[in-house]
Structure 1
């Protein structure tokens, strides 16, 4: 029985070691990528006490462009395109998400739309970064008139991080996409912080003031209403962003973005047309934190606690099995049924 028990423990130990290796090398890598069926929560950022330009039609049909003050609400929604992802070929096949992204910014106090936009983007499932894809596009939808424009494939080149950071985010500098400049700029690791009981990495990006392009129609409208004495104008832009990233999942669990834009007419002082600081609303913060905590718990369970437990338990079982097997006593030699009688002595009797 001891031999059987020892062999059973030894086999069980080997099975535990193999299971630990399978978790570490097969299961965890599968968990460390964004699932195709993941529907990210809608992200809402709020900017109280903001200054911004509102363009709208009055009751009499007349257009009105003015600098307003109030609370801005910007919502970003994602709809994964499973079929487009499944149709990808080459290096993108099996490694890439296709997301349709919708954005809406509103003046909360007056329930007036400020901006609408739509885009399509390809993201790497592990790094969360944008990857080259011929179908990526961006469309700024007009809110003051009927707009039949569509998102034209190939009219933008996304790169760097946008909505996600890599699984296993590192303390380094990443490239983060700026939607106004339409290019990725460095975002640097600046320290460790605790957010909602989770360890996070804090990243910061600064976009220095610079002149940006504006289409002629928009610029003419701004000049006509805000600087009627000017003959021409340019537009300045600057921004700063701070992101708190849960490093195991790459989730952006806290967010702050400051944007400042100015109309600079050829006569008179610059005019602020956007001055706002955006942060997550409470519902968004709660949803993203919950998602990050769930993902972190899964990765810790299958990537650390279970493999370590299985490995330690397996090694103990192997050692115990070997010790039990070695302690089994060797079989005894049996004496013959009748002992041989001694041979007669040849010594003479006295």
Structure 2
């Protein structure tokens, strides 16, 4: 009976040892998982999302051409007109683990005119970006960007694209944006211009990096090197216009045909979430004009200044915080949690293993245990006697009265 009980206890000790090994293995696995999450997995998570679908709206005022005056006796340019710049972002193919293709439809409208009569600018731009660096990429099957060929409003034929290779950044900044200068592509100018870091600002509770970009202007907004407008028409119909001097509003012979070239310049300010690279706010100043000399504007097509609406800022800040939370979860919260749990499991497994070994060794050979057959030692008189209790003592003989000296009283 006693032997069966000992076997049962021994089996339990072995089971405890196996459990200890399992717990320690779990702890090691959690530590490895924490290391992978903080290195490899974070790099895979910190990428441009594949589900972007946003409408960005900016509004403001400016000086703008009146399209209705094309049929009049003179081109009319109105001042202080309300304007809205709208961008519709969506994801197209190819979009995979490495790249994402953004299609961005942009329009600038006069809101004081109805429907398409107030349309001033329209463009559909497509660009393929590296999801990690946010830079434009090209391949044999994909030129890295394209713009849609303009069509008349009544044209129902499918749209066609014009290849336009992009360079640098477009529409986004990279994850972990740095305080430095980035090349940022302007699809209207079809060139890359520097976006320079200029400080930090709070945008609806988010600390954003501020970048400024000048296209053909200096920092004061003065024309220095305007860009000749790149027409999307085969005959350059909107980049060079010939009209009678009277239509241009020029003095002299009203019937003289005058050819003017369209030029473009711009200033932009981006407020960027440094974690996700999301542009949470943006201001745009664009200047399109006709002139015979690049630095001498004669007829303004549109000169506008617009800023992201509050609704757009709120939605972009919310999107940036969502990206931050996702990166923080996989790159910081889970690694810290797994590390803590892994250490607890390792320590707990080691203690449980030590306990099981002591129990097993005592059952196999009680003499190996020095605690009096107890895991935590004996108590009081239940233990073995101390060495002092075992020492032999000498008995002193008792003196009898007859052994006393004669002169000593009894």
**Short-chain TM bin:** 0.7 to 0.9
Of 23, 27, 30 in structure 2, the residue corresponding to residue 13 of structure 1 is 27
Residue in structure 2 matched with residue 175 of structure 1 by the alignment: 183
CA contact under 8 A between 1:99 and 1:120: conserved in structure 2? yes
Distance 2:244 2:106 in 1: 23
Instruction: Select the residue among 31, 47, 55 that pairs with 2:45.
Output: 31
Which residue of 2 is the match for residue 311 of structure 1? 339
Q: Looking at secondary structure, tell me which structure has more strand per residue.
A: 1
Q: Which runs of 5+ in 1 are unaligned?
A: 87-92, 336-350
Contact 1:164 1:252 in 2 (8 A): yes
By how many angstroms is 1:147 displaced? 9.2
Within 2, Cα distance between the matches of 1:125 and 1:325? Answer: 47
Task: Give the 3 Å change call, closer, same or farther, for CA 79–298 of structure 1 in structure 2.
Answer: closer
State yes or no: 1:204 paired with 2:212. Answer: yes
Question: 2:88 matched to which residue of 1?
Answer: 77
> What number of residue pairs does the alignment pair up?
321
**Structure 1 residue 274 displacement after superposition:** 2.6
Partner of 2:64: 52
In structure 1, what is the Cα distance between the partners aligned to 2:291 and 2:64?
A: 15
1:122 and 2:128 are equivalent in the alignment: yes
Q: CA deviation at 1:190?
A: 1.8
The residue number in structure 2 matching 1:187 is 195
- In structure 1, C-alpha distance between the alignment counterparts of 2:43 and 2:244, rounded to whole Å: 52
CA contact (8 A) 1:141 1:147 kept: no
Q: CA deviation at 1:142?
A: 6.2
Separation in 1, partners of 2:297, 2:186: 27
* Structure-2 change in CA distance of 1:224 and 1:17 (3 Å): farther
Q: CA deviation at 1:315?
A: 2.0
Cα distance, 1:167–1:269 mapped onto 2, change above 3 Å: closer
Given candidates 103, 106, 117, the residue that maps to 1:103 is: 106
Instruction: Specify the alignment match of 1:290 in structure 2.
Output: 318
Query: Which string of whole-angstrom CA distances, capped at 9 and with x for unpartnered residues, describes residues 241-277 of structure 1?
Result: 11111122110011112223443357x9744433221
Q: What is the TM-score normalised by the length of structure 1?
A: 0.79
Asked if residue 163 in structure 1 is aligned to residue 171 in structure 2, the reply is: yes
2:207 counterpart SS class: strand
* Equivalent-residue separation in structure 2 for 1:173 and 1:182 (angstroms): 19
Aligned to 1:343: none
- Aligned with 2:241 (options 193, 216, 219): 219
Aligned residues of 1:42 and 1:75 also touching (Cα < 8 A): yes
Q: Matches of 1:158 and 1:13 in 2, distance apart? A: 48
Secondary structure at 1:22's aligned position in 2? helix
CA distance in 2: counterparts of 1:140 and 1:66, whole angstroms: 27
Equivalent in the alignment of 1:245? 272
Q: Deviations over 1:213-258 (max 9, x none)?
A: 2545553259653334373444454322111111221100111122
2:54 corresponds to: 41
Pick which of 208-217 and 174-183 moved more: 208-217
Equivalents in 2 of 1:285, 1:146: separation in Å?
Answer: 35
Q: Quick one: structure 1 residues 222 and 182, their matched pair in 2 at CA, closer, same or farther if it must change by over 3 Å?
A: farther
- 3-12 or 312-321, which moves further after superposition? 3-12
Gaps of 5+ in 2: 1-12, 218-222, 230-235, 253-257, 368-410
Q: 1:116 to 1:167 in 2, by over 3 A?
A: same
